[in-house]
């Protein structure tokens, strides 16, 4: 009996820790795919089960040349960086075409923690819900939620 009570008291803190951590959600910093991680077979571009690419304009494959931008759409203009959707990460191909990489999972809900590298474009004098980051991949951070 004494051993079972001692055992219960020793395990009790671990059960509390498990409950606390299971109710919290870890938010990690995410980035657009690095140039070297994007594969293609003819005109089909992909990154290991997570991203899929769509060539803009005439379908002509080419090597990924450089990162262009990431586009985020805010759900609320009052506090735009709290909740939104990651629309795509764009890259330039060696043939001058543009490719947009989109998340395959459908889990594109995101937030932006460091908004200093993101800018908004106005349409007809009104702010757009879309924000762009055209800095480096590392500076265009987002958090998938």
In a domain, 106, yes or no: yes
Indicate whether 83 pLDDT > 90: yes
47 belongs to a structural domain: yes
Q: What angle do CA 36, 92, 124 make, to 5 degrees?
A: 135
The rounded Cα 23 to chain-centroid distance in angstroms is: 23
pLDDT value at 97 more than 60: yes
Indicate the helix (H) or strand (E) that contains 12: helix 2-23
pLDDT at 27: 58
Q: Is 22 a member of any domain?
A: no
pLDDT(14) > 50: no
Residue 13 included in any domain: no
- pTM (two decimals): 0.76
What is the mean predicted confidence (pLDDT) over 55-70?
86
> Does 135 fall in a domain?
yes
Residue 134 forms part of a structural domain: yes
Given the DSSP bridges, would you call strands 126-133 and 64-74 parallel, antiparallel or unpaired?
A: antiparallel
Q: How far apart are CA 30 and CA 57, in angstroms?
A: 28
Sign of CA dihedral 35, 38, 40, 46: negative
Residues in Cβ contact with 34 at an 8 Å cutoff, skipping those fewer than 6 apart: 137
134 φ/ψ angles, rounded to the nearest 5 degrees: -120, 25
> Is residue 125 domain-resident?
yes
Cα angle 35, 90, 126 (rounded to 5 degrees) comes to 150
Check if the beta carbon of residue 53 is closer than 8 Å to that of residue 88: no
* Domain extent for 32: 27-144
Nearest to 66 by CA among 86, 41, 96: 96
Give the C-alpha distances (Å, rounded to integers) separating 78 from 24, 65, 101: 26, 36, 28
pLDDT > 90? residue 143: yes
Residue 66 pLDDT > 60: yes
- Tally of domains in the chain: 1
Q: Is residue 12 part of a domain?
A: no
């Amino acid at each position: 009996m004494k051993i079972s009570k001692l055992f219960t008291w020793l395990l009790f803190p671990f059960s509390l820790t498990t409950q606390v951590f299971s109710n919290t959600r870890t938010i990690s910093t995410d980035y657009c795919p690095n140039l070297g991680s994007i594969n293609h077979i003819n005109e089909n571009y992909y990154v290991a089960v997570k991203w899929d690419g769509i060539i803009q304009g005439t379908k002509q494959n080419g090597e990924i040349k450089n990162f262009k931008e990431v586009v985020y759409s805010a759900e609320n203009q009052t506090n735009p960086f709290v909740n939104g959707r990651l629309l795509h990460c764009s890259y330039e191909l060696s043939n001058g075409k543009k490719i947009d990489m989109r998340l395959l999972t459908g889990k594109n809900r995101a937030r932006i923690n460091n908004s200093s590298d993101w800018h908004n474009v106005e349409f007809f004098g009104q702010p757009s819900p879309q924000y762009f980051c055209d800095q480096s991949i590392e500076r265009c951070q987002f958090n998938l939620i």
